[in-house]
């Protein structure tokens, strides 16, 4: 699990219910310290418009649900029940689903705070990319609610436990207490700690995180902008993150042999911008006797699981093809690729000519006309323009085939010759239309011939192309996992760059990705608020657009395909139980919090006493699958 922000260290049962009803949806959950048993924890889950509280025991040796599977850490327990849907059930059989972690805001917005990062990963990061004196703060894995300061001292990493005391102050196991983590760090930057071995632990420079909770992007952008401001000392903020990204390029020295072969050199618009061999698109059904016949300057781009860009793992989510702007000599190859890959949506992000230089050869006929490009015939059926883009509808046929395909050409024309658009809204609306079209094609085309990858190009096929693809990838991630998921824009770009060199070319483009994602999240947040408000008045809001500039006659709305969550019911006030059930004498039922709507009680095997059963607000069974079937019934 990449995040443990679902742990809320200071929230009460009543507040857990309130935040789950206000911010969550059914199957949202969070974990928190038990308010009745010090050292234990409670899992609060929203289901069927109410909140269920499930007790987690911390025995000192393991974590469990008062019976059943045992785990070394709280994270492993939560991850297990997220992955093993159906293992957590009520006594009468209803499944308790943990699907959507409701993430807690971190204890600080400082960029040296890395949240849920293991000690091993912290050491690897600091030793690989840090310097002597580099430091970060992370959540403690062994003691939820506490934190760890990890500092590089020469060629090793020192880990210092930071306690969060009952009065919500911070210390390092004794000595002075501080109101915030930031105050503690500032103190020890000026007053270095000394290890028992005598080594002085200097906090010289922060090792900053780029992973953030999506819903907190406004704070991160504000911080990055302030660090770039006129009152900042030196360059930091966006520049620092982008420069760090640039320094990682040496890790992506994959072979680009095909593009540099003599027979392929004249097919490249820029002689040094070549596709990686392992992800390049290879043209099929070509004359094998012609050297380089299968070559085109294009790469497949996809979201890799578990850093699969480094390990060759599987892809999830959308697939794109990133390519250069056509040269007159490569137009037939371009259309052969479109046909071969069944691309139905083509995104062009450059004008044909910019600053008196040709950026892309025209590869389509005029409206109402047809033109032959190699073995492919393209007819321009219709063309329409808006202030920001032109949409063309093509009919594409292949020599020797009776099949006719429609392809849609989205030509974005609002990107300025210098820099980036001043308003990310126009790009977001454009991407919304592109995705709406791809989704429609997905529904309309037969299952045996779904639409292929979205083809994206600019001139070199890396700058604007990378910017559009990365923004769309992050938006797709938010659509699938919700606004409380964690995103890492720098790491996403690094992953994309492992598939095509140089994607997202400039600091301005890097910053634009942040601003576009921020704009999207703010728009969706406003939509959710409006929808929740409309439930009370009986109205439905469906016409909230990305604002900030005139979007012409697009009439773009955030349709149902852009909704990240199911509609939440009107928040209700839940009445805490009047009594606290007691631990069962024989059955091993766990204690429950006194502040809840439902209590999650788990039965590891022995029957509960009648008295305990009467006190139960709800009884649950933990079902464990084994070779012989469910062990607990």
426 is a catalytic site residue? no
Task: Give the pLDDT mean for 52-73.
Answer: 84
Task: Give the pLDDT mean for 4-22.
Answer: 86
SS3 362: coil
Question: How far apart, in Å, are the Cα atoms of 627 and each of 71, 85, 624?
Answer: 20, 17, 10
Helical residues (DSSP H) of 384-462, grouped into ranges: 424-444
Local confidence band at 545 (pLDDT 50, 70, 90 cut-offs): low
99-113, 145-159, 365-379 — which one is most confidently predicted on average? 365-379
Instruction: Assess whether pLDDT exceeds 90 at residue 226.
Output: no
pLDDT for res 536: 60
Local confidence band at 254 (pLDDT 50, 70, 90 cut-offs): confident
- The residue assigned the tokens 């703010």 is 522
What residues have CB less than 8 Å from 102, skipping those under 6 apart?
A: 6, 19, 20, 23, 24, 28, 29, 30, 484
Pick the residue with more confidence: 26 or 583? 26
pLDDT for res 446: 85
Q: Identify which of 23, 48, 63, 10 has the alpha carbon closest to the alpha carbon of residue 618.
A: 48
* Distance between first and last Cα of the chain: 29
Catalytic residue among 326, 426, 458, 485: 458
Structure tokens at 240: 């620092």
Instruction: Assess whether pLDDT exceeds 50 at residue 619.
Output: no
Task: Give the pLDDT mean for 34-46.
Answer: 89
Minimum mean pLDDT among 133-137, 247-251, 354-358, 591-595: which range?
591-595
How many other β-carbons are positioned within 10 Å of the β-carbon of residue 304?
20
Helical residues (DSSP H) of 445-504, grouped into ranges: 463-481, 489-497
pLDDT for res 430: 98
pLDDT for res 538: 60
Structure tokens at 28: 């949202």
- The residue assigned the tokens 């139980």 is 577
- The DSSP code for 592 is -
Task: Give the pLDDT mean for 579-590.
Answer: 33
Task: Give the pLDDT mean for 360-388.
Answer: 97
Task: Give the pLDDT mean for 281-302.
Answer: 96
Q: Is 1.10.599.10 the CATH number for 246-526?
A: no
Buried b (16+ CB within 10 A) or exposed e, 487-515: bbbbebbbbbbbbbbbbbbebebbbbbbb
Structure tokens at 436: 């709406």
3-7, 191-195, 506-510 — which one is most confidently predicted on average? 506-510
> Is the separation of the CB atoms in 24 and 46 below 8 Å?
yes
Task: Give the pLDDT mean for 406-418.
Answer: 95
Question: How far apart, in Å, are the Cα atoms of 354 and each of 119, 209, 349, 499?
Answer: 50, 37, 12, 27
Pick the residue with more confidence: 540 or 363? 363
CA distance 622 to 630: 10
pLDDT for res 3: 57
Pick the residue with more confidence: 129 or 465? 465
Assign 3-state DSSP to the chain and report helix, strand, coil percentages, each to 5.
Answer: 30, 25, 45
Annotated ligand binding at 505? The verdict is yes
CA distance 572 to 548: 35
Local confidence band at 286 (pLDDT 50, 70, 90 cut-offs): very high
Local confidence band at 4 (pLDDT 50, 70, 90 cut-offs): low
> Is the separation of the CB atoms in 409 and 349 below 8 Å?
no
pLDDT for res 305: 61
Instruction: Assess whether pLDDT exceeds 60 at residue 628.
Output: no
Whether 246-526 and 13-104+575-630 are alike in CATH topology: the answer is no
Instruction: Assess whether pLDDT exceeds 50 at residue 515.
Output: yes
The conformational region for residue 64 under phi > 0 = left, psi -120 to 50 = alpha, else beta, is: beta
Buried b (16+ CB within 10 A) or exposed e, 565-595: beebeebeebeebeebbeebeebbbbbbbbb
What residues have CB less than 8 Å from 104, skipping those under 6 apart?
A: 5, 6, 7, 8, 9, 11, 30
Local confidence band at 560 (pLDDT 50, 70, 90 cut-offs): very low
- pLDDT above 90 as % of the chain: 42
* Helices and strands: H and E segment counts in the chain: 14, 30
CA distance 20 to 595: 14
Instruction: Assess whether pLDDT exceeds 50 at residue 234.
Output: no
Averaged pLDDT of the chain: 80
Q: What is the CATH number of domain 13-104+575-630?
A: 3.30.505.10
Local confidence band at 251 (pLDDT 50, 70, 90 cut-offs): low
Instruction: Assess whether pLDDT exceeds 50 at residue 413.
Output: yes
Instruction: Assess whether pLDDT exceeds 50 at residue 368.
Output: yes
Task: Give the pLDDT mean for 264-272.
Answer: 95
Instruction: Assess whether pLDDT exceeds 90 at residue 423.
Output: yes
Structure tokens at 304: 């890799």
Instruction: Assess whether pLDDT exceeds 80 at residue 457.
Output: yes
What residues have CB less than 8 Å from 552, skipping those under 6 apart?
A: 386, 387, 388
Instruction: Assess whether pLDDT exceeds 80 at residue 355.
Output: yes
Local confidence band at 539 (pLDDT 50, 70, 90 cut-offs): low
pLDDT for res 70: 84
pLDDT for res 530: 80
Structure tokens at 367: 């409206």
CA distance 32 to 43: 7
Strand partners, 51: 46
Tell which CATH architecture fits domain 112-207: 2-Layer Sandwich (3.30)
Q: Identify which of 468, 616, 460 has the alpha carbon closest to the alpha carbon of residue 54.
A: 616
pLDDT for res 112: 84
> Is the separation of the CB atoms in 451 and 466 below 8 Å?
no
SS3 398: strand
Concatenated DSSP letters of 147-202: EEEEEEETTEEEEEEEEE-TTS-EESSSS--BSSHHHHHHHHHHS-EE-TTS-EE-
Phi, psi (5° rounding) for residue 230? Answer: -65, -20
CA distance 344 to 440: 11
Pick the residue with more confidence: 261 or 104? 261
pLDDT for res 382: 97
Q: Identify which of 417, 389, 383, 438 has the alpha carbon closest to the alpha carbon of residue 552.
A: 389
Q: Where are the domains of the chain?
A: 13-104+575-630, 112-207, 246-526
pLDDT for res 292: 95
Angle between helical axes of 463-481 and 507-537 (0-180°, round to 10)? 30
CA distance 396 to 338: 9
5-14, 188-197, 433-442, 601-610 — which one is most confidently predicted on average? 433-442
CA distance 118 to 102: 20
Helical residues (DSSP H) of 482-573, grouped into ranges: 489-497, 507-537
Local confidence band at 39 (pLDDT 50, 70, 90 cut-offs): confident
Instruction: Assess whether pLDDT exceeds 60 at residue 587.
Output: no
Instruction: Assess whether pLDDT exceeds 60 at residue 549.
Output: no
Burial (CB < 10 A; 0-12, 13-18, 19+), residue 301, is buried
SS3 395: strand
């Amino acid at each position: 699990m990449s995040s443990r922000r679902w742990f809320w260290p200071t929230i009460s049962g009543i507040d857990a219910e309130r935040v789950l009803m206000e911010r969550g949806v059914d199957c949202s959950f969070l974990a928190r310290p038990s308010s009745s048993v010090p050292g234990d924890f409670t899992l609060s889950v929203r289901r069927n418009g109410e909140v269920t509280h499930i007790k987690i025991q911390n025995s000192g040796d393991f974590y469990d649900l008062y019976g059943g599977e045992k785990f070394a850490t709280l994270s492993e327990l939560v991850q297990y029940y997220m992955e093993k849907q159906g293992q957590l059930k009520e006594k009468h059989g209803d499944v308790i689903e943990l699907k959507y972690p409701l993430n807690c805001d971190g204890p600080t917005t400082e960029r040296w705070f890395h949240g849920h990062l293991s000690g091993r990963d912290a050491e690897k990061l600091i030793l690989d990319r840090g310097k002597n004196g580099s430091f970060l703060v992370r959540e403690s894995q062994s003691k939820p609610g506490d934190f760890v300061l990890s500092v590089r001292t020469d060629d090793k990493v020192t880990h210092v436990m930071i306690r969060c005391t009952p009065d919500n102050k911070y210390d390092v196991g004794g000595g002075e207490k501080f109101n915030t983590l930031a105050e503690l760090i500032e103190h020890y930057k000026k007053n270095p700690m000394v290890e028992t071995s005598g080594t002085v632990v200097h906090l010289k420079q922060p090792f900053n995180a780029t992973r953030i909770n999506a819903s907190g992007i406004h704070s991160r952008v504000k911080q990055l902008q302030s660090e770039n401001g006129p009152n900042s000392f030196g360059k930091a903020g966006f520049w620092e993150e982008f420069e760090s990204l640039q320094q990682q390029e040496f890790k992506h020295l994959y072979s680009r042999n095909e593009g540099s072969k003599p027979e392929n050199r004249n097919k490249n618009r820029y002689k040094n911008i070549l596709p990686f061999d392992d992800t390049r698109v290879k043209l099929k059904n070509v004359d094998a006797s012609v050297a380089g016949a299968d070559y085109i300057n294009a790469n497949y781009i996809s979201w890799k699981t578990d850093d699969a860009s480094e390990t060759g793992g599987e892809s999830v989510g959308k697939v794109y093809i990133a390519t250069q702007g056509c040269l007159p000599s490569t137009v037939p190859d371009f259309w052969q690729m479109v046909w071969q890959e069944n691309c139905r949506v083509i995104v062009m992000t450059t004008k044909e000519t910019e600053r008196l230089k040709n950026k892309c050869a025209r590869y389509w006929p005029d409206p109402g006309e047809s033109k032959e490009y190699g073995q492919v015939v393209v007819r321009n059926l219709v063309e329409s323009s808006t202030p920001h883009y032109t949409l063309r509808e093509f009919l594409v046929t292949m020599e020797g085939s009776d099949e006719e395909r429609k392809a849609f050409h989205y030509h974005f024309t609002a990107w300025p010759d210098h820099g980036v658009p001043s308003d990310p809204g126009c790009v977001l609306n454009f991407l919304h239309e592109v995705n709406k079209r791809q989704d429609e094609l997905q529904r309309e085309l037969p299952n045996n011939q779904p639409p292929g990858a979205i083809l994206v190009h600019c001139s070199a096929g890396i700058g604007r192309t990378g910017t559009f693809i990365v923004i769309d990838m992050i938006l797709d991630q938010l659509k699938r996992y919700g606004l409380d998921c964690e995103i890492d824009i720098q790491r996403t770009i690094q992953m994309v760059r492992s598939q095509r060199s140089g994607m997202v070319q400039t600091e301005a483009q890097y910053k634009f990705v942040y601003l576009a994602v921020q704009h999207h999240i703010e728009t969706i947040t406003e939509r959710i608020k409006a929808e929740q408000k409309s439930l009370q008045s009986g109205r439905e809001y469906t016409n909230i657009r990305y604002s900030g500039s005139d979007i012409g006659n697009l009439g773009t709305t955030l349709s149902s395909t852009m909704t990240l969550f199911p509609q939440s019911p009107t928040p209700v006030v839940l009445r805490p139980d009047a009594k606290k059930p007691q631990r069962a004498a024989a059955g091993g039922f766990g204690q429950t919090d006194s502040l809840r709507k439902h209590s999650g009680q788990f039965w590891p095997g022995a029957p509960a006493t009648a008295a305990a059963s009467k006190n139960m607000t709800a009884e649950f069974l933990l079902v464990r699958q084994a070779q012989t079937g469910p062990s607990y019934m």
